[in-house]
Amino acid sequence: MRWVVVLALLAGCKAKEPKHHAPKPPMSAAEVQRGQDACKTYVERVCACAAQKPDLAKQCELSKALPQAIEISLSVAANPESKPDVVEQSSDSVRKTVASCIEETAKLPTVGCN
Give, for all 114 residues of the chain, the pLDDT tens digit.
444 443 444 455 555 555 666 667 788 999 999 999 999 999 999 999 999 999 999 999 999 999 999 999 999 999 999 999 999 999 999 999 999 999 999 999 999 997
Comparing C-alpha atoms, which of 100, 66, 85, 83 is closest to residue 24? 85
pTM here? 0.77
Q: Is 19 exposed, middle or buried (0-12, 13-18, 19+ CB in 10 A)?
A: exposed
Residues 50, 40: Cα–Cα separation, whole Å: 15
Alpha helices (H) in 1-114, listed in sequence order: 2-12, 29-52, 57-63, 65-78, 84-107
Q: Is the separation of the CB atoms in 70 and 47 below 8 Å?
A: no
Tell me, what amino acid is at 73? S
